[in-house]
Amino acid sequence: MAGIYIHIPFCNSKCGYCGFYSVPSLKLKERFLEALKEEIAKRTENKQTIETIYFGGGTPSLLSTEEIKTLLHIIYNYYNVTPNAEITLEANPDTLSPEYLEGLRHLGINRLSIGIQSFFDNDLKYLSRRHDSTHARQCITWAKQAGFSNISIDLIYGLPTSNADQWSRNLDLFFGMNLPHLSAYALTLEPNAILTKQIEQGKAMPVSDEDALRDYDILCRRAKENGLLHYEISNFCQPGMHSKHNAAYWFGTPYAGFGPSAHSYDGTSRQWNIASVETYMDTGGQNAERETLSEEQQYDEYVMLRLRTHWGIDLKYMKREMGERFSTYCEQHAQPLIAQGRLSQTREFLYLTDEQMLFADGIAEELFWENL
C-alpha cells in the first residue's frame, strides 16, 4: 500500500464549475468524522506501510487543526506511516489564516495544495470563488511564513473572462513566487455544475475550446522557459517536486480511499464509496461498490494512465508484468499513431509530447484492448 486518500465532503459554498462531491454546509461534520473513523477502523487489517497521505475534497481546510490531528492519530495507529511520508492537504484560500497554517505545519502536514484558480478578480467572480486576488497572494505568503516549502497551487485556464495576456500574467505571478508545483486545469463544463446550467440558459459567458488551446500553448511554453517539468497533462513541477501521491495513482500503486466518493485500488480491484455523506454515515462507511479488473482492463488502465504522464508507456515493463500479448498488441497499434504524428516513441517508451498530450484520452482509446 502506498497511499491513503481522505475525502472531506464539505465546502463553505459550491463553486459554479465544480463537479467534485461536496455539500455546502458543515452541519454533518461531527457525525461524518465519526463515520470516517469507523470506516478506517473497519477496513484496515495489518499495519501496512504508507508513503503518502492526501486530504482532498471538498475543502479539507474547513477541518480544525484538532480534527486533523485526531484523523492523523488514527491513521498512524492503523498504518505504518514512513518517517518522510508526503502529507498533503488541499486548502481553499478563504479558510486560511497565519495561525491555522502554523497549526497545520506543527501537525506534520508537509505539502499544501491551494485552490487559487486565478490571481484576477474578474476570473474569480466568474468562478464564484469566495476569495479575491489580494487574499490569493496573501495566503501564499502566509504559507511560506508558516514554514511550508512544498506548495502547489491550482489555476484554471480557458476562462472567458481572461485572455492571452491575462493568463500570461497569472503565470508570471506564479513563477515570481518560486513555488515548486502547479496544477493547471482547462475549465471543464461538468454535467451537473451550476455554471454549466447558467451557460446553457445564456446567464453566464460561454467557454470556448480555442481559448483553452491558446492558454494550454502558453502554459506549456512558459513552464518550459521557467524550468518546470510538464509531468502530467495538468501538472508541472520543479525537478523532483512532483506530487508523490498522485504519481502513485498513475503508476498503478495500491491506495486506500476513505470518505464518500473516495476510490481505492488494491492492485487488481477497484472500490469506490458512494457519493453521499448521508448514506456514508448511515452505513458507518460500509457503502462501497467493487469491481475486479480483468487482465485486459488492467492493460487499458495502464495505457490510459501512463499516456497522461511524461513517463509514458514502458513496453518492457508491459511485457514483463502483463505478458507479451499485451506489449505486442500495444506496439502494433501504436505504429499508425506514430506515423500520423499523434504519438511518439523513444526506445521502449511510447509517450505524448506537449502538443499531443491534450488528446491523451482519444489516443489511449485507439490503443485499448479490442472487443471488450
Ligand X SMILES: C[S@@+](CC[C@H](N)C(=O)[O-])C[C@H]1O[C@@H](n2cnc3c(N)ncnc32)[C@H](O)[C@@H]1O
Q: Which of 24, 341 has the CB closer to ligand SF4?
A: 24
**Phi and psi angles of residue 253, each rounded to the nearest 5 degrees, phi first:** -80, 140
Question: Which residues face 33 on adjacent strands?
Answer: none
Of 193, 263, 250, nearest to 15 by C-alpha is: 193
204 binds ligand X (CB under 6 A): no
Of 341, 336, 338, 295, nearest to 318 by C-alpha is: 295
Taking every pair of C-alpha atoms in the chain, what is the biggest distance, in angstroms? 57
Could you say which of ligand SF4, ligand X, none residue 312 binds, taking C-beta under 5 to 8 angstroms by partner kind? none
Count of residues binding ligand X (CB under 6 A)?
Answer: 17
Q: Whose CB is nearest to ligand X?
A: 115
Provide the CB-side half-sphere exposure for 324 (13 A, CA): 0
Site for ligand X in 84-143 (CB under 6 A): 90, 92, 115, 117
58 binds ligand SF4 (CB under 6 A): yes
Q: Which of 59, 110 has the CB closer to ligand SF4?
A: 59
Among 5, 10, 20, 119, binds ligand X (CB under 6 A): 20
11 binds ligand SF4 (CB under 6 A): yes
Angle between helices 295-307 and 324-339 (to 10 degrees): 40
Please give the C-alpha separations between residue 266 and each of 87, 170, 226, 252, 269, in angstroms, as whole numbers.
20, 39, 38, 9, 6
Q: Please give the single-letter amino acid code of residue 271.
A: Q
Q: Which of 91, 364 has the CB closer to ligand X?
A: 91
Site for ligand SF4 in 81-120 (CB under 6 A): 92, 115
Site for ligand X in 55-94 (CB under 6 A): 56-57, 59, 90, 92
Provide the terminal-to-terminal Cα distance of the chain, rounded to the nearest Å.
29
20 binds ligand SF4 (CB under 6 A): yes
Contacts of residue 238, Cβ cutoff 8 Å, sequence gap at least 6:
180, 181, 227, 228, 229
302 binds ligand X (CB under 6 A): no
Could you say which of ligand SF4, ligand X, none residue 52 binds, taking C-beta under 5 to 8 angstroms by partner kind? none
Could you say which of ligand SF4, ligand X, none residue 126 binds, taking C-beta under 5 to 8 angstroms by partner kind? none
15 binds ligand SF4 (CB under 6 A): yes
Are 29 and 43 a contacting pair, CB within 8 Å? no
Task: Name the site residues for ligand SF4 (rule: CB under 6 A).
Answer: 11, 14-15, 18, 20, 22, 57-59, 92, 115
Interface contacts to ligand X, rule CB under 6 A = 17-20, 56-57, 59, 90, 92, 115, 117, 154, 156, 185, 187-188, 190
